[in-house]
Structures are given as C-alpha cells and as structure tokens.
Amino acid sequence: MLVLFGSLLLFSSLVDGQSTSASPPPPPPPPGSSNQPTATVPATGTASGTAPVPVPTNTNGGNQTIPTPTQTGPRPTRDPSAPLATINVISPPNRKDNPPLYALGSNILFSWTIDMTKLLLTPTNITLDAIPQSRSKEVYTIGVVPPGTTNYTWTAALQRNDSHPLIEDIYTFRIYDGQVGPYGYLTDGGGYLQSNVGILFGLYYPREYNNATCDCTSNDVQQRCGTCEFSPVTNSAHGALFPSGSAWVLPIAIAVISASLAL
C-alpha cells in the first residue's frame, strides 16, 4: 500500500514539472517573409552637372555668362589658350582722324571678313551695334545676321522716327558673336570669335547748303550739310564736262542753246 502511494506522488511531481517549464522559442520565419525586419541603407552617389561660369564685371556694368556652344555633334578639339578668331571690318573704312559720314535716311553698307582658320566654335549669330560717342550708354542694334554672313546693309531711314531715334553724332561700330556677348572672352577663349570694336562713322541730317553754317572741311557733323557729301560727285562731273582751262565753253554753250530756241 505504501509502495502504491509513493508511486502516485512521484507521478504527480513529474506532471507538475512539465507544466511549469518554459516553452521553446518559435522557429524563425522563412526567408522572404514580410515579418523580417527592414534595414535602412544610406544613399550613395555624387551630384553631376555644371553651372554657368560668370565672367568678371566689365567696365560697362553687368556680368556675362559663358554660353555652351549650340552646334550639334562632337565638339572640335581646341586649346583654350590658343588665339581667338578675328573679324576684319572692311566697310566702313577705318579712318579715326576723318571718319566717313553718312546721311540719315540713306543705306549704309557694313562688310567684314572672319579668320576661319582659327574659328572652331561657330557663333549662333553675328550682332552689329552702333554706339554714339555723346551717349555712350545708348546702343543701337544695327542688325543680327547668320554666322556665315559677311555684309549687311543698314537702312538708317527706318530709325529716324521711332521711339529710339538716331541722333547726329560720331558712332562706334561694334560687331561680335551674339551668343558670347559684346565684350567677348577675357580668358580661355581660343577657338571663339573675338569682338571688333573701334571703327568710327558719322551720321547727320542733310541740310541745304549755306556758306555761313556749312563747313565741308570740318569733322563735326553739326557743321556739315548734304552738299559736303555730294560735292566730290558734282566736282568730278563738272571736271569731266569742263576740263581745266575751258571755262569759256559754258557761256558759249548757253548762248548757242538760247539762239537755237529763239529760232
């Protein structure tokens, strides 16, 4: 009887021990399961791209931005320290001491050549300006032409009565790559077109000849008149019709014509 009672006590203790033991941890979730923790990965990489390079402020104020050439295809190989391509102005002629004068209302021809051996980056356009000496901050845009153009006729009459009228003055002619700007490159411009500034010409309003106010020998456009510009033509024609030493021909010719009409 005692043996049976002891066996029951031993069995009860074994059952109680199993019920109070810790449960084993659950198995890990299979790979790819949505219950897996998510790790944060720091982003990597380098920003790319270039910003426009400002050119130092010029004497006339304002900053320039060096543009990117617009031509398509591979860019030509160039040395930034190489010479720039130059513009040679043919007309108006370069006469600083006696600049050519043009009547307002006439057509004025501007012509030039470009050193193509040094031009590696074709301009977007060629821009032509006129700047009066007495108002150096005013700029008259004469024209904007394609890069292959080598001459341009400016009809000055078109600007006589607009909101920005031309004035009688000596003007500075400026021609340049319209994409780069009138002041060109200060450094590293090899292969680009160099601006040309400095050719002078005058504009005046034609007037009737008056010995008291018209001085054809003066470079001051205010002292000149239309007769000054046409005098070389009329003098040449007179010289061809009546050579030196034959001034007597004119009175005789008039007398003959008058007699013929009387008959």
Domain residue limits, the chain: 78-204, 208-240
Average of per-residue pLDDT across 216-232: 57
Q: How confident is the model at residue 237 (pLDDT cuts 50, 70, 90)?
A: very low
For residue 153, give both structure tokens.
Answer: 């006729």
SS3 88: strand
The arrangement of secondary structure in 78-204, i.e. its CATH architecture, is Sandwich (2.60)
For residue 134, give both structure tokens.
Answer: 């007495």
Q: What is residue 134's predicted lDDT score, i.e. its pLDDT? A: 92
Average of per-residue pLDDT across 40-56: 32
CB 187: neighbour CB atoms within 10 A?
10
Q: What is residue 220's predicted lDDT score, i.e. its pLDDT? A: 62
Does the pLDDT value for residue 57 go beyond 90?
A: no
Residue 139's alpha-carbon distances to 130, 253, 255, 256, in angstroms, are 6, 54, 57, 58
More confident residue, 209 or 140: 140
Average of per-residue pLDDT across 76-80: 65
**Do 199 and 94 form a contact (C-beta atoms < 8 A)?**
yes
